[in-house]
Amino acid sequence: MNRSGDIKRTASPSDSHHRRSFLSSIGAVLFGSVAAVFPLAAGWGVLVDPLRRQRPEKAGGHGAVADPKFVRVGLLAMLPDDGLPRQFAVMEDSVDAWTRIPGQRVGTMFLCRTTSDKGPVVTAFSSTCPHLGCAVDFNAAANQFECPCHKSAFAKDGDKLYGPTLRGLDPLPVKLVDSNGQQEIWVAYERFRTGVAERIPLA
């Protein structure tokens, strides 16, 4: 894979098959999402998935998904294990007493995959700057996350490097779940209060 993180240009035939299956399963909502998220990519290949609240048909591997806050991102195979963060849109259906509006973007996050002696490891961070809520981006040349608003910067592990932010990036819980012989990435997306040192989830 090159430094641009472009999945299409680097995926293996197997990866491509998985990715085609993944894309075909998410339908028209995906294509509506691409246009909305692409400007956030800022030079990165962006994988976009309408994250739907759903339970896996078969849970196992690294653990079942019992917490309803977890949403399915997609197949682990679509995320290269090069340790580079990639940005995903978080899409949810908006539901009230009268209407259900599918595929509303509620935020973005970064996923990063590495490999340990125990197997694949995926970490996730909200891309919302914990200072005052701007969208951070990953600067591949500097190997760090950066916020354009007030110049806060964060290491790849989310720790604060410099700037006015009072804490590091907000990590998001990740589960890898076996489903039909493949591993899926599930993430519990949350928003947190900005401008404070403590990590306080918003209701």
Q: Which of 18, 19, 86, 131 binds ligand FES (CB under 6 A)?
A: 131
Whichever of 53 and 150 has its CB closer to ligand FES, that residue is 150
Candidate ranges 57-65, 111-119, 126-134, 167-175; the one touching ligand FES (CB under 6 A): 126-134
**CB-based contact 183:115 (threshold 8 Å):** no
Looking only at the bridges linking them, the beta strands covering 70-75 and 182-188 are antiparallel
As beta bridge partners, residue 185 has 74, 176
20-24-30-31 Cα dihedral, nearest 10 degrees = 90
Candidate ranges 15-23, 115-123, 131-139, 177-185; the one touching ligand FES (CB under 6 A): 131-139
Candidate ranges 16-24, 43-51, 83-91, 163-171; the one touching ligand FES (CB under 6 A): 163-171
DSSP string, 20-45: HHHHHHHHHHHHHHHHHHHHHHTTS-
**CB-based contact 168:159 (threshold 8 Å):** yes
In whole angstroms, how close is the CB of 159 to ligand FES at the nearest point?
15
Binding status of residue 199 toward ligand FES by CB under 6 A? no
Residue 11 carries which DSSP code? -
Q: Which of 163, 166, 182, 191 binds ligand FES (CB under 6 A)?
A: 163
Write out the two tokens for 91. 């899409």
Whichever of 22 and 145 has its CB closer to ligand FES, that residue is 145
Instruction: Please give the residue ranges that form the binding site for ligand FES (CB under 6 A).
Output: 129, 131-134, 147, 149-150, 152, 163-165
